[in-house]
C-alpha cells in the first residue's frame, strides 16, 4: 500500500464523516461544496485497487442511505403540509342522499365591543 494512496483514503474517509454529520444534522446547505471536494478526492484515488477501497465504499453507501432517507422525509413533510393547507380550505363529503358537497371552514366573525 503506497503512502500517497493511504493518505488519500484517509482524507476521503474524513470527508465522508463530515458529509455524514452534515446529513444527520440536516445541514443540507453544506452538501454542495462537500460533493465538489469529494469528487476531487475520488479523482486522486484513480487506479487504486478496489479491495483497498472497501471501507470507503461502505461509508459512501451509508451516506447515500442517509441522503435517501432525508429526501424521503422532506417529501413526506411536503405532502403533509399540503394536506394541512387543503384541510384548512375545506373538504368534500357526501350528504345523506349521496350527493357531493363541499364543507368549508367557518369564517371567524368580528365582534366589536364598546
Give me the number of domains the chain comprises.
Answer: 1
Q: At 93, is the secondary structure helix, strand, or coil?
A: strand
74 phi/psi in degrees, rounded to 5: -65, -40
- Which residue segment(s) compose the domain that 64 sits in? 3-88
Please check whether residue 56 lies inside any domain of the structure: yes
Please check whether residue 29 lies inside any domain of the structure: yes
Please check whether residue 46 lies inside any domain of the structure: yes
- pLDDT per residue, tens digit, the chain (114 aa), is 466 778 889 999 999 999 999 999 999 999 999 988 998 888 888 888 888 889 999 999 999 999 999 999 999 999 999 988 887 787 788 888 889 888 877 776 677 776
User: CB–CB of 30/15 below 8 Å?
Assistant: no
Please check whether residue 75 lies inside any domain of the structure: yes
Please check whether residue 103 lies inside any domain of the structure: no
Amino acid at each position: 500500500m503506497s503512502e500517497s494512496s493511504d493518505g488519500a483514503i484517509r482524507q476521503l474517509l474524513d470527508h465522508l464523516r463530515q458529509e455524514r454529520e452534515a446529513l444527520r444534522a440536516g445541514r443540507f446547505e453544506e452538501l454542495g461544496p462537500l460533493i465538489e471536494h469529494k469528487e476531487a478526492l475520488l479523482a486522486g484515488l484513480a487506479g487504486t485497487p478496489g479491495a483497498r477501497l472497501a471501507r470507503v465504499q461502505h461509508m459512501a453507501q451509508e451516506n447515500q442511505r442517509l441522503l435517501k432517507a432525508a429526501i424521503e422525509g422532506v417529501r413526506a413533510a411536503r405532502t403533509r403540509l399540503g394536506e394541512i393547507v387543503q384541510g384548512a380550505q375545506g373538504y368534500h363529503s357526501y350528504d345523506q342522499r349521496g350527493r357531493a358537497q363541499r364543507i368549508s371552514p367557518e369564517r371567524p366573525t368580528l365582534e366589536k365591543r364598546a
